[in-house]
Structure 1
Amino acid sequence: MAPVRALIVGAGSRGEVYSRFSLDNSENFQVVGVADPRLFRCQRLQQQYNIPQENVFTDWQEAAEREKFADCVVIATPDQLHKAPAVAFADRGYHILLEKPMAVTEEDCREIVSACKRNNVILSVCHVLRYFPPVRKIKELIDSGVIGDVVHIQHMEPVGFWHFAHSFVRGNWRKTEESSFSLLAKSCHDVDLISYWLAKSRCVKVSSFGSLTHFKPENKPAGAASRCLDCQVENTCPYSAKMIYMKMVQQGHTGWPVSVVCPQEPVDMENLTEALRTGPYGRCVYECDNDVVSNQVVNFQFDGGQTASFNMVAFTQEICERQTRISGTKGELRCSGPGPVYVYDFLTQKSTEHRCETAPPNMMRGMHGGADFFLIDAFVRAVQSGDSSAVLTGPQDTLQSHLLVFAAEQARLQDRVITIRPDGSYS
């Protein structure tokens, strides 16, 4: 089959990650265009993938107005800037790989789905965890009936103390108005997993509680400065930008998150120091303009009587190593991080270990435990064949799980139980 030609819209960290698929699979996937308002980001991809100058844009609208020159578009723009390019490129006939969340409002999500259906283009939303090998193994075990009928799912997202400070206090996802609320930005993955595992049932009720804890001006230590580089007490603060970022560079790590703090190359101690002195990631965590919640619990009731509970919490040692326990009528399943998955059988009272698939050696292997590779590999195969069945995160499933996220946030804000209608809307 001919290689899939891709236009990358948004050349930040996620756009770069998906582009890497072509480094090992150029016979199937080629990056032929890039659009990003930051010219240095465009030039980085242009040099790496030999992109023609006429296919380099600082405004994605210019690319959309051109005669179609690629088979698909990878949209990795900021959260609030997903809808417009998704609809525009769908109308131009491009297949779409869209970074999560799909969009930041229910209306925009529905419009994207409508545009893709209207134009008969493949939409794959980057709910990358559906492709995470332990998640696939859990789904396989549930569907096999090995634990009987599912009764309850307990699922936790430990964001990690410094990761939350990086992304949701100092970083791009700190303010709902500028991005989206944290359940959507960070954990729409996790709500989607619960929907995936319980695909045969429909959620009928949602409740939620959560708040912004600790990262507030009143918790600023005595004697602390506005910036970590100027602070006399930063060595006693676990959220010190000096401790978090400089230590990484000293150890030779220059990828994420340091590459976000210091986007201009080279990523070295000199440029990092300047970025911490002048940029947002050097600010005191108690003097930022953040407003998203740091801990949240969501409870789900399904039409078959099943229940699920999801917890997102900032203050953890683990960084995004999900923890799952699923109770069934014949046994119990549990998994932490990359697995393996363990099943305890009530009849034999024995536990069985189930190992998970691993990604083949590739330039993306370390990303989400190989899930990024499996996601884009499925998308490329779908575009090549015209058969979207390989895509696990298509428009309708993704829309339904996003609607649950919006309902959960309404439940939290309004302090009430939300009832979900059969079409996914809620009251």
Structure 2
Amino acid sequence: LNPIRTIIIGAGSRGNTYASYSKSHPDEMQVIAVAEPHSERRCSFAKEYNLNAEQCFSSWENAFKQASLADVAIIATQDQMHVAPALAAIKIGYHVLLEKPMATTKKDCQILFTAAKKSDKLFGLCHVLRYTSHYQKMKEIIDSGLIGEVITIEHLEPVNYWHMAHSYVRGNWRRLEESSPMILAKSCHDLDLIRWFADSPCKNISSFGSLIHFKENNAPEGSSHHCISDCAVEKECPYSALKLYMNMNLTDWPVSVITNDLSKKGREKALWEGPYGRCVYKSDNNVVDHQVVSMEFQNKVTASFTMSAFTDGHRRTRIMGTMGEIIGNFETMTLSNFRNQKKDVVWEKCEMDEMNHGGGDFRLMKQFLKAVIENEPTLFISSIEASLD
């Protein structure tokens, strides 16, 4: 079989991650075009994937003016820019893989759903956590009946203090008006997991959260507007841009996001001129830094979800059933069996789980491409129906 020809719409961090699957699996996927408005990013992507000028476009509109260039369109634009290119891709006749979240409003989600259902092509969402071995094992245990009937789910998304500073205080998702609510931008993964585990539509929901810490009134005395500008408290500040971006041994994400020039001079220039050098207390961010959600599902399962910036480490999940309990933290997973009073480690992290999103990014790509090749939507569990629910 020939590799699936793929066009990437948006050559940022996520677009590059999905495109990189083609390097590890050239027999399954071939990147044949890219649409990216940022010229340096577009040129860098073209060089990485050996694309000529005719295969590179400054906008998705230009890319989609032509007849279908590929088999699959991967839409990895910013949150508020998902709907238009996805609709255009559907109209042309592409199989579509859309980065989460599907859209930022209920109306737009419904518009995409209607368009996708009229198409005879696949439409999938990048809810990559479903494809991690950790959460697939958890789902397997739930479905086996080993812990009996699921009663309660607890889930924590520890955003991590440095990730909060990078993406949601200084970065592209810092402002509600330009992106989406943080609970959607960061945690639609987690809400999708909870719905998957509960295996029932949500009946009732309540949520509370706010921006408390990353505001100017909390700026320490002696802090400057930029960490690089003789800040008196930089060395003791956990959110220092110098600590995060000026370690010259680090070249991957998140450092790779701030500039294409990763030399010391290039990084310093980015911290002076771009948003990533700003003091976290003097940025223009307005998304929450903590939020909780309580849910009741139609089958009476209850769930609680916490998202917090003030954390370190991996997601933590507890599934409480009538006959047992599962506790997982992306390092290990334990199963307490009430029937025999035994507690066993049933999953431990392996080398594959060290990759992006616990290996979920590449496992999702493999499964989506398989579903395209076999023209079988049921092979891809992160469907548009699941996302809309």
TM-score by length of 2: 0.97
Indicate if the aligned counterparts of 1:32 and 1:52 stay in contact, CA closer than 8 A: no
Contact kept, 8 Å, 1:359 with 1:373, in 2: the verdict is: no
Q: Is the CA contact 2:244–2:255 (under 8 Å) kept in the aligned structure 1?
A: no
Q: CA deviation at 1:59?
A: 1.2
Deviates more, 1:325-334 or 1:229-238: 229-238
Q: Does 2:362 align with 1:367?
A: no
2: CA distance, partners of 1:357 / 1:124? 27
**What are the ranges of 5 or more consecutive residues in structure 1 without an aligned counterpart?**
401-427
CA shift for structure 1 position 356? 5.8
**More off after superposition, 233-242 vs 83-92:** 233-242
Deviation at 1:359, TM superposition (A): 7.5
Kept in 2, the 8 Å contact 1:80–1:104? The answer is yes
Q: Corresponding residue for 1:42?
A: 42
SS class of match (2:64) = helix
Indicate conservation of the 8 Å contact 2:332/2:345, yes or no: yes
The one-letter code sitting in structure 2 at the alignment partner of 1:162 is W
Structure 1 contact 204–301 (Cα < 8 Å) conserved: yes
Give SS of 1:100's match. coil
Contact kept in structure 2, 1:358 and 1:370, CA below 8 Å: no
Report the alpha carbon displacement of residue 358 of structure 1 after superposing the two structures with TM.
5.6
Is 2:253 the partner of 1:256? yes
The Cα shift of 1:304 comes to: 2.2
The one-letter amino acid paired with 1:136 is: Q
Deviations 1:190-221 (A, max 9, x none): 0000111111x221100111111111111011
What's the counterpart of residue 226 of structure 1? 225
Aligned position for 2:341: 349
Deviations 1:365-389 (A, max 9, x none): 6211211110000111111111112
SS in 1 for 2:30: strand
Amino acid at match of 1:328: G
Shift of the alpha carbon at 1:2? 2.2
TM-score by length of 1: 0.88
Question: In structure 2, what is the equivalent of residue 412 of structure 1?
Answer: none
> What displacement does 1:45 show?
2.1
Measure, in 1, the Cα distance between the counterparts of 2:53 and 2:211: 46
Which whole-Å CA distance do the structure 2 matches of 1:243 and 1:25 have between them?
A: 35
Structure 1 outlier segments of 4+, above 6 Å: none
Partner of 1:383: 372
* Amino acid in the other structure paired with 1:141: I
Aligned to 1:94: 94
State the partner residue of 1:410: none
Q: Does structure 1 residue 198 correspond to structure 2 residue 193?
A: no
Please tell me whether the aligned partners of residues 137 and 356 of structure 1 are also in contact (alpha carbons under 8 angstroms).
no
SS in 1 for 2:246: helix
Note the residue ranges of structure 2 that are not aligned, 5 or more in a row: none
Work out whether 1:104 is the aligned partner of 2:97. Answer: no
Task: Give the C-alpha shift of residue 238 in structure 1.
Answer: 1.2
Over the residues paired in the alignment, what is the CA RMSD in angstroms? 1.4
Partner in structure 2 of residue 210 of structure 1: 209
For 1:269 and 1:398, the matched residues in 2 are separated by: 42
Provide, for residues 100-134 of structure 1, a one-character-per-residue CA deviation record: whole Å limited to 9, x for no partner: 11111111111112111112221111011010111
Cα deviation for residue 63 of structure 1 reads: 1.0
**Cα distance, 1:94 vs structure 2:** 0.3
Overall identity of the aligned pairs, in %: 45
Aligned partner of 1:294 in structure 2 is 289
Mapping of residues 14-413 of structure 1, within 5 Å: 14-199=14-199, 201-230=200-229, 231-247=231-247, 249=248, 252-262=249-259, 264-265=260-261, 267-318=262-313, 321-337=314-330, 339-355=331-347, 366-400=355-389
Whole-angstrom CA distance in 2 between matches of 1:24 and 1:226? 42
